[in-house]
Amino acid sequence: MTETIRAIADRIQREAPARERLPLCFGPQRIDVLSNSPDLLDGLRRYFAAFDEGDREREADLVVRAHQMEPPDLGLDLPPLRTIEPQPGYLALFPSTLYHGTTPFGSAERMTVAFDVVTGDGHSGDAKGLTG
């Protein structure tokens, strides 16, 4: 039986609970990143240092969870339909239902973060819930 998205999210939270918080401010917007990995949060802190400014004490506009754990092997060998080249300060967002991955590129630092978006009124997961 295939796990539902909610069941997968619950399993990830049980197996790799987010116990650390990183507040990031981008002008008037505040984002809290919750994670089970202090190293991942430290990398995010360094990566976004040039953009991080504002009031860290106020309530977050958006809370995201970034869990670091071994991904399951899906046994798929699909060629990419599109490749996005990494650039400093570049953030690529796409729905989690889009099959995606990363490729080796040498010894430079790279960070890939997955998260779910939940709005203040409890919508999550689809564009309709996020926009209206």
In a domain, 131, yes or no: no
97 DSSP 8-state letter: T
Over residues 20-42, the pLDDT tens digits come to 888 888 878 888 898 988 888 88
In a domain, 12, yes or no: yes
Question: What's the predicted TM-score (pTM) here?
Answer: 0.49
Asked whether 85 and 55 are in contact (CB, 8 A), the reply is no
In a domain, 39, yes or no: yes
Number of domains comprising the chain = 1
Question: Range of 39's domain?
Answer: 5-123
Over residues 63-93, the pLDDT tens digits come to 888 888 776 666 667 788 888 887 877 777 7
In a domain, 23, yes or no: yes
What residue type is assigned to position 73 of the chain?
D
Q: What is the pLDDT of residue 82?
A: 83
What residue type is assigned to position 125 of the chain?
G
Q: DSSP 3-state assignment of 12?
A: helix
Q: What is the pLDDT of residue 71?
A: 67
In a domain, 83, yes or no: yes
Q: What is the CA radius of gyration of the chain?
A: 16
